[in-house]
């Protein structure tokens, strides 16, 4: 089998006190524009997944998260033509600061059993049942 590029991305289910989950719409001009995703992004060289998530959550939605408040929940995996995406999903219920769309993206707080109403990238869709089991 030919070598295939493995891309590591980390994502977070941010859960509020009403058990709603934050999703963000990918902006125009980016890959998968218009689809709704659990916030996160690619690991930079040398980063641990938790460090990536803390950085991305601050960059994208302005919040400060302590590493102890990030708990791993499951993994997503999806094979594209030119790379394989592996994406751990963390859950976070405590953070500091207000959630704000720092990149102009649309944000939505959604109950886990309504997440299927939002078109998502293929890697994110199989994560929904895990969130339903946990939160509904």
Residue ranges of the annotated binding site are 26, 37-40, 60
> Taking CB within 5 to 8 Å according to partner kind, which of ligand 9L3, Mg ion, none is near residue 32?
ligand 9L3
Asked whether the beta carbons of 53 and 90 are under 8 A apart, the reply is yes
Three-state DSSP class for 108? strand
Quick one: DSSP state of residue 58? H
DSSP classification of residue 122: T
The one of ligand 9L3, Mg ion, none whose footprint includes residue 11, by CB under 5 to 8 A per kind, is: ligand 9L3
126 binds Mg ion (CB under 5 A): no
**Separation CA 39–CA 107 (nearest Å):** 10
Q: Taking CB within 5 to 8 Å according to partner kind, which of ligand 9L3, Mg ion, none is near residue 124?
A: ligand 9L3
Least separation in angstroms between CB 127 and ligand 9L3: 8
DSSP state, residue 65: -
Residues of this chain that interact with Mg ion (CB under 5 A) are 41
């Amino acid at each position: 089998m030919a070598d295939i590029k493995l891309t590591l991305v980390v994502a977070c289910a941010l859960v509020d006190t009403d058990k709603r989950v934050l999703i963000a719409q990918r902006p125009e001009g980016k890959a998968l524009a218009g689809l709704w995703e659990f916030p996160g992004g690619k690991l930079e060289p040398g980063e641990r997944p938790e460090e990536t998530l803390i950085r991305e959550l601050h960059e994208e939605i302005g919040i400060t998260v302590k590493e102890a408040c990030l708990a791993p929940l499951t993994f997503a995996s999806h094979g594209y033509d030119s790379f394989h995406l592996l994406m751990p999903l963390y859950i976070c219920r405590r953070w500091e600061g207000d959630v704000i769309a720092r990149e102009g993206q649309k944000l939505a707080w959604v109950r886990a059993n309504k997440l299927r109403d939002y078109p998502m990238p293929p890697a994110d869709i199989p994560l929904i049942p895990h969130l339903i089991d946990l939160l509904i």
